[in-house]
Amino acid sequence: MAQTNYSDIFKNPLSLNNPITVQVLGICSALAVTVELQPAIVMAISVTVVTAFSNLIISLMRNTIPSRIRIIVQLVVVASLVILVDQILKAFMYNLDKALSVYIGLIITNCIVMGRLEAFALGNKPVPALLDGIANGAGYGIILVIVAFVRELLGSGSLFGFKVIPQALYDLGYSNCGIMLNPPMALILIGIVIWIQRSKMKELQEK
Amino acid sequence: MNTNSNVYTVVYSAIMVVVVAIVLTVVSVGLKPQQKINMDNEKRINILKCAGIEVDESKAEETFNKAVVESFVVDSLGNKTNDDAFSIKDNLIVFKTVVKDGVVKKEVKLPIFKVENNGQFYYVVPLKGKGLWGAIWGYAALKEDFNTINGVVFAHASETPGLGAKMTEDFFTSQFVGKEMSENGKFVGVNVYKDSKKTAEDPKHGIDAISGSTMTTNGVKNMVNDCLQAYEPLKKTLSSTSASAPAVDNTDTVSEPVPDAPAADSTQNVIK
């Protein structure tokens, strides 16, 4: 990488190299926390914070890390950041922390985080690494929010917990689509997002 | 510097671990008070919820202090102890084995919260038990007769999501409403059935199990039965005081769970 191109670093994870739809990483939490918008957004922010800061920290440390224990060092950094996020959520957003339950802890095992550390932070300067972390977290977050939007709207007829589908529609015989609340539907929705993205972007189509 | 030498690697990891430990300790200690407030409020919300009072965390403390007319801890004989019902060891039932004069006895401390809602009194008691993977706990509110369940709240540490974890959901907890603990003076508790026909045949005690979660459901059953049975000796005192209250001197008896009722052998009966 001769010349760091900041706009590419930032744009790629959002579209061409999206962690969920292209790299298909971090699917587990994407299925689990997308029943409602609010936890999805908090999860997206938490993952973004963790990827951004772990990228930054690892990038700052990259020349000192003994290569034999680099995975361990990465894990320690990621795990501590996740514990920090969890502690802060417990103190200030207790109900959300309960809703996200184990999935906050599972950010540690989210492949996006480790993937970016190995692939990017270890070989790049702190500023691009920070950007890369933010962008990958955001790329993950966008998909989470899209899926959560559809699932909450069709599954419980609400957005952010507020009813948006008018009662009149229910009176006409409309009913919430219960299957939307189940994890398989999230997988199908992610599949649909991938399909739409691939059909729009020529670069992603395999010959 | 050779970053691959053994000495460097060992020193590096040692320093890293110490730094991380310090950072995490500072944050954890710093945020403790705020986290404790949240947990206390959740406790209050749950206690109020099974007595039929819905409240959010901003008003939890205020409502709790108003609605809980009385809270106390009693031992197996029904004597009040000096413990504070709310702060006693996670305010769950405390079982302790004590050896006294060569006799092994199990000591219990049973917290009770008397909650008033619309002129009705409810006795809220904590529950504590074992699920499939870890601890389960909750609260149950008994009506004034100290026999009929008014509502329950359950929580769990690590039951299987989508199966056992459903024990906290309304479709399951609402089944406990109106269930009676004793029949003809004998403790029956709740029974769990896989077949909903059998549940229908046992309207006073029957609960439909959660499909695919036999172990968790049995855990819940045992928790509810064991914990509520531990309170059984208090039943006479608590329900009779409210019934006989007008006849006797009001000021003294109304809230006194002690007097004469539970026999001395209740220590052995309470816990098997």
ipTM score of the complex? 0.73
Res. A11: pLDDT tops 90: no
The amino acid at A3 = Q
Name the residue of chain A whose CA is nearest to B11's CA: A66
> Which ranges of A12-125 does DSSP label H, i.e. alpha helix?
27-32, 37-61, 70-92, 94-100, 102-105, 111-119
- Mutation target to probe the B interface, by most B beta carbons within 10 A, among A57, A73, A77, A80 is A80
CA atoms of A130 and A54, how far apart (whole Å): 8
pLDDT given at position B246: 37
Res. A70: pLDDT tops 70: yes
Average pLDDT over residues A180-198: 86
Domain layout of chain B by residue ranges: 69-243
Domain layout of chain A by residue ranges: 25-202
Beta bridge partners of B206: B191
Dihedral over Cα of B239, B240, B245, B251: its sign: negative
Res. A14: pLDDT tops 70: yes
Average pLDDT over residues A48-60: 90
Do the chains contact at B9 and A76, CB–CB below 8 Å?
A: no
Helix and strand counts by DSSP (H, E) for chain A: 10, 2
CA atoms of B122 and B101, how far apart (whole Å): 38
Neighbours of A71 (CB within 10 A): 13
pLDDT given at position B61: 83
Size of interface A-B (CB pairs under 8 A): 55
Do the chains contact at B23 and A80, CB–CB below 8 Å?
A: yes
Helix (H) or strand (E) segment spanning residue B21? helix B6-50
Do the chains contact at B38 and A66, CB–CB below 8 Å?
A: no
Average pLDDT over residues B156-161: 80
Model pLDDT for residues A159-185, shown as the tens digit of each residue: 887 778 788 888 887 777 777 877 888
Model pLDDT for residues B238-270, shown as the tens digit of each residue: 665 544 333 333 333 333 343 343 333 333 333
- B224 Cβ neighbours under 8 A, 6+ residues apart: B127, B129, B140, B152, B176, B189, B190
From A195's Cα to the closest Cα of chain B, the distance in A is: 28
Res. B225: pLDDT tops 50: yes
Show residues of chain B in contact with A84, CB under 8 Å.
23-24, 27
Task: Tell me the backbone φ, ψ of residue B160, rounded to 5 degrees.
Answer: -60, 120
Is the pTM of the predicted complex or chain greater than 0.95? no
Show residues of chain B in contact with A67, CB under 8 Å.
3-4
Do the chains contact at B12 and A91, CB–CB below 8 Å?
A: no
Show residues of chain A in contact with B27, CB under 8 Å.
84, 87-88
Do the chains contact at A76 and B34, CB–CB below 8 Å?
A: no
